[in-house]
Copies of this chain bind each other. A is one copy, B any other.
Amino acid sequence: MSQALTRDACAALDAADPLRGLRQLFTIPEGVNYLDGNSLGVMPAAAPERAAQVVRHEWGEGLIRSWNSAGWITLPQRVGDKIGRLVGARPGELVVADSTSVNLFKALSAAISIAQADRPGRRLILSERSNFPTDLYIAQSLARQHGMELELATAAEISARLDERVAVLMLTQVNYRTGAVHDMAAVTAHAHRVGALALWDLAHSAGAIPVDLNGANADFAVGCGYKYLNGGPGAPAFVWANPRHASRFWQPLSGWMGHASPFTFDTDYRPAEGVSRYLCGTPSVIGLSVLECGVDTLLAAEPLGGMAALRQKSLALTDLFLAQVEARCAGLGLRSVTPADRRVRGSQVSLACASASGYAVMQALIERGVIGDFRAGDGTEAEPDLLRFGFTPLYTRFVDVHDAVTALHDILTTQQWREARFNQKAAVT
């Protein structure tokens, strides 16, 4: 791809894009160039009507009867099966419930139980230092509870640290800061060779890159509903267990919805067969219903090639962005921390910004309608402050990439960032 691609050339790419029609499935505000779908996906056009139907009709009219008549009772499984199609899970293997953090607690608890039974004496949970913090916090809590240790390594070190000491390897497949991707099949195979279990957080994978949980022979997985699945703010999350583990152990959040027979109101907990035991309390019906609209936007791509086609466009978008930044912003102090190698690049690009306050640059971009986000680093060369741009092939156009680089160039060359309003931004990864 030419580094000097003009806006017209980008518009031509959009006109030739076989996925271009998918953008119509969304309502995108006028004047907004949204490159933050890795944090909160945009609203599917079907979402308001679906929310209204659930609230006004299913709740307002159907009331308690809607647990059956509107199918609320099977929503966690029904939406779970749809998400399963995006991540290589078979029907019945994946449920939607709670938040990613809570699901990670369940899945990591189950993994630890299995490791303790099969490989007693192993005391290590291995993870990546730049994993998303909530994953580390949950692992710290469970390590403490089980008398284990959480060992953190850089991505490059993981392979060397993965040995017979490790009970569970817990990784987020796509790094939320850099967008670097772990090879799930290879890393899982390595974990299994040393007798460890592999638990994957798909927060920045599901709906972003092709994932094949069964193909990779993974052990457990969790993921997020409100990023690339476009499920709305605080959408419920999902959890998957390999069928060989699903019915093997309790998870500690033994709520009534995960009971084998929730409506007999037994005094004793008896977990449901399979992954349904990963349900806990009453599911968020409105949130689950709206999430389904988001998942449906990804399934709408299936006749056009599905996740493989979305992946091709995603890579074309990030290729273009990297090339445009290199060609048009040379000398302005930007440095990509996202892998140039397409095989290990997710659906985002993150730029360190040497010449200016990254926070102020992102504020200036947002004021111009180019919405990415800012992620603070620890001040070291290895972990710099980052401008983060997510590229969601369902609705991002090639001209959006061009326009974003234009805005970035203008802000840096005119030092417009010095004037950006410093309103605190509390964004959610």
Contacts and interface: CB of A to CB of B under 8 A. Distances in A.
Interface stretch (A6-14, A63-71, A312-320, A406-414): A63-71
A37 to B, nearest CB: 9
B136 A67 contact: no
A171 B225 CA distance: 34
A406 to B, nearest CB: 21
A117 to B, nearest CB: 15
Interface in A20-36: 27, 29, 32, 34, 36
A393 B385 CA distance: 55
A95 interface: no
A265 interface: yes
A152 interface: yes
A376 B264 contact: yes
Interface string A122-138: 00000001001110111
Contacts of A145: 145, 252
A200 interface: no
Interface stretch (A155-163, A232-240, A337-345): A232-240
Nearest to A72: B233
A202 to B, nearest CB: 15
Given A232-B285, A264-B376, A265-B375, A43 B60 contact: yes
Contacts of A68: 423-426
Greatest chain B CB density within 10 A among A29, A233, A237, A424 is at A233
Nearest to A74: B426
Interface of A: prevailing SS? mixed
A288 to B, nearest CB: 7
Nearest to A44: B60
A235 B61 CA distance: 17
A59 B286 contact: no
Contacts of A47: 55, 59-60
Contacts of A43: 55-56, 59-60
A387 interface: no
A79 interface: no
A259 to B, nearest CB: 7
Interface string A51-62: 110111011110
A98 B105 contact: no
Nearest to A266: B133
A217 interface: no
B283 A137 contact: no
A290 to B, nearest CB: 6
A371 interface: yes
Contact of A101 (B132, B136, B237, B253): B253
B254 A140 contact: yes
Nearest to A130: B267
Contact of A282 (B61, B99, B254): B99
A373 B254 CA distance: 25
Contacts of A262: 426
Interface string A245-269: 0000010111111010011111111
Interface in A384-429: 423-428
Contact of A137 (B56, B255, B375): B255
A284 interface: yes
Contacts of A269: 133, 136-137, 140-141
18 contacts: A32-B63, A36-B63, A40-B63, A43-B59, A47-B60, A48-B60, A51-B55, A51-B286, A55-B232, A67-B426, A98-B98, A133-B269, A134-B255, A134-B281, A141-B253, A233-B282, A234-B283, A234-B286
Interface of A: 27, 29, 32, 34, 36, 39-40, 42-43, 47-48, 51-52, 54-56, 58-61, 63-68, 72-73, 98-102, 105, 129, 132-134, 136-138, 140-142, 145, 152, 226, 232-237, 250, 252-257, 259, 262-269, 280-288, 290, 366, 371, 373, 375-376, 423-428
Q: Closest 7 interchain pairs by CB?
A: A99-B281, A101-B255, A101-B281, A233-B285, A134-B256, A137-B269, A43-B60
